[in-house]
Structure 1
Amino acid sequence: MATPRGKSPTFSRMEKHRNLYKNTSPQSCMWRDTYRRRCFERLKNSRENLLQKFRGNDASADGASPGRGSVICELMEEEWKLMQWEERQARVEMKLTHGQMDDGLLEDLNNDVVLSIMEELQRELIAEEGAIIAEYEASLHLAEASLSATVEQLNTDELLCPICKRNPLMLNKGVIFCACGMRINTEQDCITLANVRQQLESGVEQHSALCHGQPVFTVTDALSAQNLVLSCQTCDFLYIVI
């Protein structure tokens, strides 16, 4: 049903929102900008905590929604209380130093303006929270796809080179090599391709049990000996394959 003068409820809310901002004092703008900046910084610094809660809720038996927005509510409340405490401390210090105490910025704010600012900021933070979780989910799916591809390669009759992932590994007189240029002398260790396959499977399984990051295979050269190594920058996992 239309409101008087033919304005819709949505239009009326938008008009009220604009009027609130139009009447906002410079002090309110300063508070809004400071509060917004600090909330976004706290969200950025709490990224790991956010993902931990998301992973925990996502793994719950009831299959409920991850409760997005819960971290935002906690974050905004904590930052609001911190700003109030800091202002009280500043006023006390002013009283001790100058013998007078101002009313304070936060006490001077219009309640409707504060509520409107907080509602808008909450929407922005929830959108940012969703973007962080979406980025994590995308990286998780990529890691799972990479793991599946690696396991599938290991289960084929031919043992594909973990470096190039295209050509099969070959063994000749104790030297394991690939057409891509990877070459490791294992003559003294009497290693077979079956041993390499087992080591590759073990390394991949151990890492996937600890981390969802995407590990990489590299050949290192230390103390005149070459090694095929599985490593992950996300969790600092390191595993010597051969």
Structure 2
Amino acid sequence: MDALHRHRSLYKGTTPPWKETYRRRCMDRLKNSRSRLLDRYRQMGETCSSGASIIVQEVMGEEWTALQSEDQRLPSLWGSGGMSEMFNVMKEYDELAVLEDIQQELMSHEMSIIEEYERNLQFEQQYISSVVEGMDEMQIICPTCHVNNLNVNSYFIACPCGLYINTKKRNITPEALRNLLESRMSEHMGDCLYNPIFSVASNTDSSPNLMISCKVCDYLSIVL
């Protein structure tokens, strides 16, 4: 406890010198842990409590341990209580308010990631529904203009907006196209929260391909 009292006397009434470094590292780790966060969120499903942290305490614990290894004057978090034990140890110290502020900022950012994921998941579900279920007789909404129904036959796929893909000898049916669109959308959504776009691009032999891409995550794939 003497070491903790000495630690307290160093920063009493001042902003701890580790604050910005720790805050920045925690935020960077949280951003880089988006896949882990969303995987955990999907696994938790309906058991996830509103307002509860998913990986924030893990992130704070990991970064505090890294920071403490660089500055032995900082109290260690290792113990049966983890982050909660650290908060109890520091509850009388000025650093507690700093840690709580950082925790709230991280939880807010964590929630924004989840909310964005939910919005894009809803968009994906609605879009796939409109594209692959669409209209009568397996009509499929054009993925590039989102307005017209595609003309899908054994020779080509076309849309009044200008989309034209030669499908001769490729056995592309409306159902096959539906499955391809759904597969690529789901593949992209597994790693990125943002909405992809569809476009037509020529391959090496000048034949057009339907492409799906995302400017945010650099996802790029050929649909057909």
TM-score (norm: length of structure 2) = 0.68
Pick the structure with more helix per residue: 1
Which residue number in structure 2 is paired with residue 24 of structure 1? Answer: 13
Are 2:48 and 1:65 equivalent residues in the alignment? yes
Structure 2 distance, partners of 1:24, 1:80, is 21
Paired residues, number: 193
| 1:18-97 to 2 correspondences below 5 Å | 24-25=13-14, 28-58=15-45, 63-65=46-48, 68-88=52-72
Residue deviations 1:182-208, cap 9 Å, x none?
Answer: 33445xx3578xx34133112023335
In structure 2, list runs of 5 or more residues that go unmatched.
1-10, 76-89
Post-superposition Cα deviations, 1:71-91, rounded to whole Å, max 9, x if no partner, equal: 111111222221111124xxx
- For structure 1, the residue ranges without an aligned partner over 5 or more in a row are 1-21, 89-103
Picking from 167, 180, 185, the partner of 2:161 is: 180
Give the greater-gyration-radius structure (CA).
1
* Alignment correspondent of 1:13: none
SS of corresponding position for 1:167 = coil
Q: Compared with structure 1, are the counterparts of its residues 175 and 120 closer, same or farther at alpha carbon in structure 2 (3 Å cutoff)?
A: closer
Deviation at 1:150, TM superposition (A): 0.8
Partner of 1:202: 179
* Percentage of matched positions with identical amino acids: 30
TM-score by length of 1: 0.64
What's the RMSD between the two structures over aligned residues? 3.5
1:227 is aligned to 208
CA distance in 2, matches of 1:173, 1:132: 43
Q: Which residue of 1 aligns with 2:126?
A: 145
